[in-house]
Structure formats: structure tokens, C-alpha cells
Amino acid sequence: MTDTTARPAAAHELPAADDPRLKDTWARRQLLVLVAGVAVLSTLPLFLGEQAQSVAIRTLIFAIMAVGWNLMSGFGGMFSFGHAAFFGIGAYTGAYLLVDHGISPWISMVVAAVLSAAVGVAIAYLCLRYKLAGSYFALATFAFAQMFLLIVQNVDALHKTEGFNVEILPSDSWSMLQFQQGDPLYFWIPLAILAAAVLVSILYVRSRAGQYAQAVRDDEVAASSLGINTMRARLIAVALSCGVTAVAGVYYTQYYFFVGPEQAFGSAVSVEAIVPAVIGGIGTIWGPVIGAMVVGPLSELVATVLRNPPGFLSFLQGTSGLDVAVYATLLIVIVIVMPKGIFGTIRDRWRS
Amino acid sequence: MSLLQVEGLTKTFAGLTAVDSVDIAVADRVFLGIIGPNGAGKTTLFSLLAGSQPPTAGRVVFDDVDITGWSAQKVARAGLVRTFQLMRPFESMSVLENVTIASLAQRSRKDARRHALGVLERVQLAQYAGTSSGSLPTAGLKRLELARALAMEPRMILLDEVLAGLVPAERAPMIELLRELHGDGLTVMFVEHIMAAVMALSERLVVMHDGRVLTQGVPAEVIAEPQVVEAYLGEDY
């Protein structure tokens, strides 16, 4: 029964291997854009002052998170409202290994990605096993993220609510990923991480696993009737997504020299992973990156307003949470005006 | 020796018996038609055979392997593939990508794309290879369903109303295509309401009614049986 030559439906002619209809230049074009984009962006530290560079770095962290989120929620169709869990695992793995054990953050990135992928797969398996889909799936991921927040706040080894302070070294160190304040390497390193994350997305989308995940997203019943292991296809998407997001977390701790439960596992972090992807375009390669370019500077603007509000907004001084309110408003506007996001909408217009 | 052997297959939903002790044997390379009034249990029978739902009782043996209770994915990989009455394209993908997904089951990515284009040519859909599958008209979607199933290189195919929704002018080419595929050696079981197609294609005919097999045999004889006439047209006929 495994003898495929005996299968009669194979009795059709194969088109020529160089048939023009078989040409697929998509991946090559995306890689070209990636190379060009990295080349242009890598010159930014030459123009940016220290303040602007810190905004740009914040933007890159947003972008890595959103690219990660998009792998699972965009291409895999499983909407995560709890990506803080995976960002937090990254941030805390990096902090714990560095502060308490002196382990290099480069190693932590690998450890955190693997750990986060394993936790993500376990959570997703439970949700899918019990057939949670759509908003129920999203709520379940949110619940897990909140659970992690509570656990971290109550575990001594993780410094409870105090979080971790990273010791500042007297000199530059590649192995410990520490440089002079304002050093362009603080920009180039997350840029390289983002480029790697986008590269993973491009390769994944065209891979067998990625094609299967998108088929399952579009129609699970049809996919399983074509012999696709739907659970496996989804869990691969989850593992990649959670791994990438965790790396953003490790870098966060490294750059800000501090991480606490709210910065790592707070629900605002989950929102920060979602918003750039939704604004830019869910399920597209470039949407999350473009969205982050909007959200990153915007978050800085909001923070500035809060530090020094104009007269009529003086009641806001010293409060927090306005950023999330602004994101929410922006999200509503985008969903109404451009339901496919900035990139998705422009791409569709271009095609038609 | 039958390719597909169904014995005492039963499915009960909360007290309602949708499929009731069905016995069917399908020999290799046979074209078998299934007819019956709406609600007779035809689509449920397909779901049980294809692993979309587990049966309550009974046995399904395909190619000498007991596949009872297997998942849809496993049944499909064993060479028994179904299509759906309501078309289910992967809408974010092109027509060629849709079929490539199925071709991937047995080949590398590069070979799969080429194989899929060959299948599209086979079902005369190749001119739409690059079209978004969501924008195909009904006749195209029906052929896409068929193409995806064929790309799995099945031994046997279960077709659920491939002619439904087609205008009469579109039916003849589809019937011709099914005849050719059968001629190539494909074993087919199809559920169909359009009697002209059923009579033109079926070598064996099964009539279902209230979840049971009312009668089965050679088509011309089967449809002449009084109980079949009665089931279809009511007792007052």
C-alpha cells in the first residue's frame, strides 16, 4: 500500500521542471528587502543622538517581539494574548543566569529560546487538546501569562517583586554584552537579532511546516483530510514564536540593566507584542516591523507627555498606563480604517 | 478481494442513529454511486470512512488494514481521500499552493510544486494556477477540491456531491473528467443527487434510507426496485 507507482491517480504528465508557472521568487525578493533594510537601518546610529537611539532600540525590541508573536498568531492563526509569558521567560532567564550565576547573555538567549519554546508548546498543547480556539485560546494564554506573573512575584529565587539589577561592568565586554552608554552596538545587536527573526519568518513561511500551519489556519478540517498532522503543524509555529519572543526578553534585561515582574510578565507586555503586528499587518513578513516603527516612537512620545504634560493634561503627571490606552485607541482606528494593517492594506492595493 | 470493506458501521448522535449497521464492499477500481434522500446518512457515512468522525460501532477495512477509528490525517495518508460538498479552499493561498499542500505529503517542496501543477493540468485548472483560491467560481472550486484529493495520489477517493452547484453546461465536462480518472484506475465512491450522472458513471449503486442500506447492486436493476421508488417518491406514488 506504500507502493506509490501502483497509485493510478499519478497517471498524469509532469510539466517541465523549468515551466515558468513553477517559478516562485517570493522568498528571494523578501531576502533582498531584508538585506537592503538592514543595510539602511544599520547606518542610523550615525545620525541619531543618544536619546533618539534609545527610542530606536526600544522600537527594535518591539519589532522582535511582534515578529515572534506573528509567527504563531499571524501565520499559525492562534491568537496569543499572553506573549508576556514568553518575553518574561526570556527576560528572567537572562537576568537569573547573569546576576545569580554570571552566565553570558549570549548563552541565555539560546537557553531562554529553548525554555520558552518548551513552555509555549506545553501551554498550546493543553489549549488545543481541549479544543480551545479563537477568543478562548487567547483568554487561556492571557491566564497563563498572569499566572507566571504571580508565580514570579512570590518566588524567592526570582527576587519576588524586587526583580533583578544587572551589575554595570567597568569596561566593555562582548561576552557579557555590555558597552559604553550610547554605543552603537546596543543598536546593531538587536538589529541583527531582528534580521535573524525576520529571516526565520521568511524561511518558515515557505517551508513544509509553515505551509502546513497556514493550511491549518485557513481550514483545519480540510488540512487534516489532506493528511496533515494539524497538532504538530501548530506546535511548530508556537515553538518558533515563543523562542523568538524570549530572545527579545533577554536583550531587554541586558539593555535596561533591570527587570521586574511587571516589565517582563505584565499584561502591557502582551499588548506590546500584539499592537505592532496588528497595526502593521497580521500574517505578513513586514507588518510587525512596520508596526513597531509606529509604536516605538509613539510610546516614547506618550512617556514624554506623561513626564511633562501640557497644562490641560496636568492631571496625568506621574501616572502610568496611558501608553496602553493610546495603543488601544490606535488599534481601534486601524482595525476600522485598515483591517489588514498598514502593510497588508498597501500590498492589497498594489496588487489590484 | 475488496479494496474497501465496511461491516456493521453505525453512528449514533444523542439517540439519533444517522448510520445504521451499514455493510458495503467496494472492489478495486470500481465506480460506486450512493444515492438516497436528504438525511439518509450519506455524508455521515463519508465522515466515518474518512476518519472525520469515529463510528459508534462496526469496522472499516481498507486495503487489508483495519482503519476503524483512525484519524482523518492517517486515513488520508493510507490512500483513502475525501472531498467536501461545501468547498474548503485554503483561501490565503493560490490555487497552485492549495494543491501543493496535498502533494507535499509524499515529496520534497520543489517536486511537490511541479507535481501539483501536473495535477492542475489534469483537471484543466492550470490556467488558474496563480489565482487566489478564494476568487475561483464554483466550478473552479469543485475542480480544486478534486485536484487536492488527487494530489494525495489516493487508491480510492470519496466524492461528496462534486456536481452540486454546477450549472448543466458545467456538468458534462466534470462527468467526463471523473470517467477518465476512473479509467486511469482510480476507485471512486461518490454521493450524488443528479441521477443522470449517477447512471452514467456508477458500476455499482447503493441506496441509503434512514441511515440504512436499502438495497445495492447493478444500477439499472436497483433503481427499478419498488422500495427504492417508494423511498424517493413517497408511498402514495
Along chain B (237 residues), what's the average pLDDT of each consecutive run of 10 residues? 94 93 96 93 95 96 97 96 93 96 93 95 95 93 96 96 93 96 95 93 95 94 88 59
Q: For residue B19, give how far its alpha carbon lies from the nearest alpha carbon of chain A (Å).
A: 21
Q: How is residue A286 written as a grid cell?
A: 513586514
CB contact under 8 A, B90 and A8: no
CB atoms within 10 A of CB A181: 9
Can you give the residue ranges of every domain in chain B?
Answer: 2-79+154-233, 92-152
Confidence category of residue A1, pLDDT binned at 50, 70, 90:
very low
Probe site for chain A from B86, B96, B101 (most A CB atoms < 10 A): B101
CB atoms within 10 A of CB B5: 17
Residue A91 reports pLDDT greater than 60 = yes
Closest to A276 in 3D by CA, of A290, A256, A297: A290
Task: Quote the DSSP letter at residue A22.
Answer: G
Confidence category of residue A348, pLDDT binned at 50, 70, 90:
confident
Cα atoms in the 13 Å half-sphere on the side-chain side of B205? 22
In chain B, residues with a C-beta closer than 8 Å to the C-beta of A14 are 114-115, 118
CB atoms within 10 A of CB B9: 24
A9, A21, A217 ranked by CB distance to B150: nearest: A9
Find cell 554605543 and name the residue: A183
Dihedral Cα B164, B170, B173, B177, nearest 10 deg: -30
Probe site for chain A from B153, B155, B187 (most A CB atoms < 10 A): B153
What pLDDT does A103 receive?
Answer: 96
List the end-to-end C-alpha distance of chain B, in Å, as a whole number.
Answer: 39
Confidence category of residue A3, pLDDT binned at 50, 70, 90:
very low
CB contact under 8 A, A1 and B79: yes
Q: How is residue B143 written as a grid cell?
A: 475542480
CB contact under 8 A, B117 and A228: no
Cα atoms in the 13 Å half-sphere on the side-chain side of B142? 20
- Sign of the alpha-carbon torsion through A108, A94, A85, A320: negative
What pLDDT does B228 receive?
Answer: 87
How many contacts does A have with B, using Cβ atoms within 8 A?
123
What pLDDT does A8 receive?
Answer: 52
Give yes or no for A223 touching B (CB within 8 A): yes
d(CA A60, CA A38) in angstroms, rounded, equals 12
Task: Quote the DSSP letter at residue A171.
Answer: S
Kindly report the CATH class assigned to B2-79+154-233: alpha beta
Residue B66, strand partner residues: B61
- Mean pLDDT within A122-142: 95
Cβ-contact A204, A240 below 8 angstroms:
yes
φ, ψ dihedrals at B33, nearest 5°: -100, 145
Q: How is residue A76 written as a grid cell?
A: 499559525
Cβ-contact B147, B120 below 8 angstroms:
yes
Angle between helices A267-280 and A341-351 (to 10 degrees): 10
Cβ-contact B218, B231 below 8 angstroms:
no
Cβ-contact B194, A17 below 8 angstroms:
no
What pLDDT does A4 receive?
Answer: 43
What pLDDT does A7 receive?
Answer: 53
Listing from the earlier edge strand, what are the strands of the sheet with B31-35?
A: B80-82, B156-160, B187-191, B31-35, B204-209, B212-217
Angle between helices B109-122 and B138-151 (to 10 degrees): 130
What pLDDT does A275 receive?
Answer: 94
Mean of pLDDT over chain A = 93
B92, B130, B184 ranked by CB distance to A214: nearest: B92
Q: For residue B140, give how far its alpha carbon lies from the nearest alpha carbon of chain A (Å).
A: 17
Task: Flag whether the ipTM exceeds 0.90.
Answer: yes
Strand, helix or coil at A182? coil
Cβ-contact A211, A229 below 8 angstroms:
no
CB contact under 8 A, B121 and A15: yes
Task: Quote the DSSP letter at residue A162.
Answer: G
Residue A90 reports pLDDT greater than 90 = yes
